[in-house]
C-alpha cells in the first residue's frame, strides 16, 4: 500500500512538472496564450469549488467552505474581465496594461479579504442569500469604479508599476498571512490533508503577490513566476476541495458530523459515568439508611411498653414510609440504565417476589419472556400496592402464552381502584387518598415495562384490581401447563 501511495505521488509530481514545462514552452511562443490558460484554469477550479459548496450548503453547518465558494465565485468574474482585458487581447479600446492590472488588484483584495473573513465564520451558520447579494453589490461597485476611471492607476506604460499597486500587493500579502494564522487556529475543524493543502495554497498566493511587485512589463519573467505560483495555489485548492469531495467526501463535507459524533460519544460517556456514580451513591444511602431504620425498628420494639399507642403508630408509619421510599429509589435507579434483556421464567420470579409479602399468592401457568432485573421491582410494587393501599389478603397471579406475546395478570381481592382515577394511576407524581406516597411507584413500573411490553389496569370481580402486563419478547418452546 505504501509503494502504491509513493507511486501515485511521484506520478502526480511528474504530471505537474510536465504541465509547468509545457506552459513555459507555450509562454515562449505566446505569453498571451500562457496567461489565458493559467487564468482560465483558475476560474475552472473556482467554479468547481463554488458548485460543490453550493450543492452541499444544506449539509454544511460550518460556513467556511460555503463562504469561500461564494466569494471566490465573484472573484472569478473579475478575473475573467482581467483575462479579456489583458494587453494584446484587443477586446477593449484601451489596450494598455493598466486596466487588467487594476482588475487584478481588485480581485486579489477581494480574495484575500474573503480568506480573512472565512475563518471567523467557522462553526457558524450564514445567510447565504445575504452573502450572495452583498458580494454581487460589492463586485458590481468595484467593476463600475474601475471602468468609470475612479480606481487608482496600477500600471503606467513606460514606467511600470505604480506605488499604489506595489503597496497593495504587500497589503494583500499581509492580509493573506493573517488569514493563514486564523485558519491555523481552527485546524482541528478540518481534515488534516485538507487543512494542509489550503494552508500551502495561501502561502503560494503570498509568494505570487510578492512576485508581482517586481515586474516592469506584463510579459516579463517576474510576471511569469507570479502566474506559476497562482496556478499552483489554485491547483492545491483543487486538490483540497474538488478532489477530496469526489474521492473522500466524508473528510470534506462530513468531518463536522464526525466531530459531532465524537462529542456525543464523550458526552454519553460522561453521562454514563455520572449515572454510575449516582447509582453507587444511591446504593450506599439505601444500605446505610436501611441499617439505621432496622436499628430504629428494634428500638421501637423495646420501647413498646413505655410509649403510647399513638406514638407507636406514628413511629411505625414513619419507618414504613422510609422503607417504601428506599424501595422506590431502588426502582427509580433501574430507569437510569438500559440493561440487556435476558430470559426470565415468570413463574420462578413471581414465586420469589411473593415470599417478600405476608399475603397468600396463588400462581397459575408458565411463561418465559425477555426482560431485565427491573421486572422484579414491577411485580413487587404491584403486590405491595394491593396489600398497602387495597388491603388485599389474596393475590392471584396467572400467566399464559398467546400467539405473539405472553400475558401476566396480577389480581387481588382488595378494595380496588376508583373508576375516576384508573386513567391516571400511571402518571408521574399522581397519588390518591391518605395512603398515597410519592406518586412514583406505578409511574416507574410503567416505564420499566415499556422496555419490553405494556401494562394496563382493570377491575377484578367480585372485588379488587387486576394489572395486566403483556410481554412481546417471549421465549418459544415452553408449553403452558398447570
Task: Specify the pLDDT at position 263.
Answer: 66
Task: Specify the pLDDT at position 234.
Answer: 84
Same domain, 83 and 39: yes
Same domain, 304 and 178: no
Same domain, 53 and 106: yes
pLDDT over 80 at 19, yes or no: yes
Q: What is the pLDDT of residues 380-413, one digit of tens each?
A: 889 888 887 888 999 999 999 888 889 999 999 9
Distance separating alpha carbons of residues 454 and 408, to the nearest angstrom: 11
Instruction: Give the confidence band of 52 by pLDDT, cuts at 50, 70, 90.
Output: confident
Same domain, 227 and 267: no
Report whether 244 contacts 65 (CB < 8 A).
no
| 197-201, 292-296, 297-301 — most confident range | 197-201
Q: Which of residues 218, 253, 288 is at a domain's end?
A: 253
pLDDT over 70 at 299, yes or no: no
Q: Which residues, in sequence order, are CB contacts of 304 under 8 Å at separation 6+?
A: 312
| 142-146, 370-374, 427-431 — most confident range | 142-146
* Mean pLDDT value across residues 231-255: 67
CATH number at residue 457: 3.30.565.10
Kindly state the DSSP code that residue 427 receives in the 8-state scheme. S
Q: Which of residues 320, 337, 354 is at a domain's end?
A: 337
Report whether 57 contacts 125 (CB < 8 A).
no
Distance separating alpha carbons of residues 100 and 78, to the nearest angstrom: 10
Task: Specify the pLDDT at position 65.
Answer: 80
Segment holding 453, helix H or strand E: strand 453-459
Segment holding 371, helix H or strand E: strand 368-371
Distance separating alpha carbons of residues 375 and 307, to the nearest angstrom: 40
Q: How many other CB atoms are there within 10 angstroms of residue 343's CB atom?
A: 12
Task: Specify the pLDDT at position 439.
Answer: 57
Number of domains in the chain: 3
Structure pTM?
0.53
Q: What is the pLDDT of residues 110-135, one digit of tens each?
A: 999 999 998 888 777 788 889 899 99
Report whether 45 contacts 72 (CB < 8 A).
no
Same domain, 231 and 283: no
Q: What is the pLDDT of residues 409-436, one digit of tens each?
A: 999 999 888 888 888 888 876 766 555 5
pLDDT over 50 at 480, yes or no: no
146, three cell numbers? 474601475
Same domain, 178 and 283: no
Task: Output the DSSP codes for 313-365.
Answer: HHHHHHHHHHHHHHHHHHHHHHTTS-PPPEEEEHHHHHHHHHTTSSSEEEEE-
* Mean pLDDT value across residues 355-362: 87
Q: Indicate the SS3 state at residue 410.
A: strand
Report whether 408 contacts 428 (CB < 8 A).
no
Per the document, the length of the chain is 482
* Mean pLDDT value across residues 162-191: 89
Same domain, 230 and 332: no
Task: Specify the pLDDT at position 230.
Answer: 87
Same domain, 274 and 406: no
318, three cell numbers? 414513619
pLDDT over 50 at 482, yes or no: no
344: nearest Cα among 379, 299, 292 = 379
Same domain, 329 and 373: no
The residue with greater pLDDT, 248 or 59, is 59
Task: Specify the pLDDT at position 210.
Answer: 87
Mean residue pLDDT across the chain: 79
| Percentage of residues of the chain with pLDDT beyond 70 | 72
99: nearest Cα among 111, 112, 87 = 87
Alpha helices in 127-162 (DSSP H): 128-147
Q: What is the pLDDT of residues 212-225, one digit of tens each?
A: 887 666 667 788 88
Report whether 238 contacts 45 (CB < 8 A).
yes
Main-chain dihedrals φ then ψ at residue 409, nearest 5 degrees: -115, 125
Task: Specify the pLDDT at position 478.
Answer: 40
What residue numbers bound the domain in which 289 lies? Answer: 255-337
Distance separating alpha carbons of residues 137 and 230, to the nearest angstrom: 26
Same domain, 422 and 462: yes
Q: Which residues, in sequence order, are CB contacts of 200 under 8 Å at separation 6+?
A: 236
pLDDT over 80 at 260, yes or no: no
Same domain, 141 and 263: no
211, three cell numbers? 512576485
Same domain, 329 and 347: no
Q: Which of residues 319, 337, 355 is at a domain's end?
A: 337
Distance separating alpha carbons of residues 293 and 322, to the nearest angstrom: 8
Exposed/middle/buried for 461, CB within 10 Å: 0-12, 13-18, 19+? exposed
46: nearest Cα among 70, 67, 19 = 70
CATH number at residue 164: 1.20.1070
341, three cell numbers? 434483556
pLDDT over 90 at 53, yes or no: no
Amino acid at each position: 500500500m505504501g509503494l502504491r501511495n509513493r507511486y501515485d505521488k511521484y506520478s502526480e509530481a511528474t504530471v505537474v512538472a510536465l504541465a509547468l514545462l509545457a506552459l513555459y514552452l507555450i509562454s515562449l511562443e505566446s505569453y498571451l496564450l500562457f496567461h489565458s490558460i493559467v487564468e482560465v484554469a483558475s476560474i475552472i477550479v473556482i467554479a468547481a469549488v463554488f458548485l460543490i459548496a453550493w450543492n452541499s450548503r444544506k449539509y454544511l453547518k460550518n460556513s467556511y467552505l460555503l463562504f469561500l465558494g461564494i466569494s471566490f465565485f465573484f472573484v472569478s468574474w473579475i478575473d475573467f474581465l482581467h483575462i479579456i482585458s489583458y494587453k494584446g487581447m484587443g477586446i477593449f479600446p484601451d489596450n494598455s496594461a493598466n486596466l487588467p492590472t487594476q482588475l487584478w488588484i481588485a480581485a486579489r483584495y477581494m480574495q484575500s479579504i474573503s480568506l480573512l473573513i472565512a475563518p471567523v465564520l467557522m462553526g457558524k451558520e450564514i445567510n447565504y442569500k445575504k452573502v450572495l447579494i452583498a458580494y454581487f453589490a460589492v463586485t458590481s461597485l468595484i467593476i463600475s469604479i474601475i471602468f468609470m476611471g475612479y480606481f487608482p492607476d496600477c500600471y503606467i506604460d513606460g514606467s511600470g508599476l505604480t506605488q499604489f499597486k506595489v503597496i497593495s500587493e504587500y497589503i494583500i500579502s499581509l492580509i493573506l498571512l493573517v488569514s493563514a494564522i486564523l485558519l491555523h487556529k481552527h485546524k482541528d475543524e478540518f481534515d488534516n490533508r485538507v487543512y494542509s493543502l489550503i494552508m500551502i495554497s495561501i502561502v503560494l498566493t503570498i509568494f505570487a503577490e510578492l512576485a508581482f511587485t517586481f515586474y516592469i512589463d506584463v510579459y516579463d519573467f517576474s510576471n511569469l513566476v507570479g502566474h506559476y505560483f497562482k496556478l499552483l495555489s489554485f491547483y492545491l485548492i483543487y486538490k483540497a476541495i474538488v478532489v477530496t469531495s469526489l474521492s473522500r467526501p466524508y473528510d470534506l463535507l462530513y468531518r463536522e458530523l464526525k466531530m459531532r459524533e465524537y462529542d456525543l460519544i464523550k458526552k454519553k460517556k460522561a453521562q454514563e459515568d455520572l449515572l454510575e456514580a449516582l447509582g453507587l451513591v444511591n446504593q450506599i444511602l439505601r444500605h446505610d439508611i436501611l441499617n439505621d431504620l432496622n436499628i430504629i425498628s428494634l428500638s421501637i420494639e423495646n420501647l413498646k411498653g413505655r410509649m403510647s399507642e399513638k406514638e407507636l403508630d406514628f413511629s411505625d408509619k414513619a419507618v414504613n414510609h422510609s422503607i417504601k421510599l428506599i424501595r422506590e429509589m431502588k426502582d427509580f435507579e433501574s430507569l437510569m440504565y438500559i440493561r440487556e434483556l435476558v430470559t426470565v421464567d415468570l413463574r420462578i420470579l413471581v414465586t420469589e417476589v411473593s415470599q417478600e409479602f405476608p399475603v397468600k399468592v396463588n400462581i397459575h401457568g408458565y411463561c418465559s419472556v425477555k426482560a431485565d432485573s427491573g421486572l422484579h421491582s414491577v411485580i413487587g410494587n404491584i403486590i405491595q400496592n394491593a396489600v398497602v393501599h387495597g388491603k388485599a389478603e389474596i393475590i392471584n397471579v396467572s400467566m399464559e402464552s398467546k400467539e405473539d406475546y405472553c400475558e401476566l395478570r396480577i389480581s387481588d381481592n382488595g378494595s380496588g381502584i376508583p373508576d375516576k382515577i384508573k386513567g391516571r394511576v400511571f402518571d408521574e407524581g399522581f397519588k390518591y387518598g391518605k395512603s398515597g406516597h410519592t406518586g412514583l411507584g406505578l409511574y416507574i413500573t410503567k416505564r420499566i415495562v415499556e422496555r419490553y411490553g405494556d401494562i394496563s389496569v382493570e377491575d377484578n370481580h367480585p372485588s379488587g384490581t387486576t394489572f395486566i402486563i403483556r410481554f412481546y419478547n417471549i421465549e418459544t418452546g415452553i408449553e403452558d401447563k398447570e
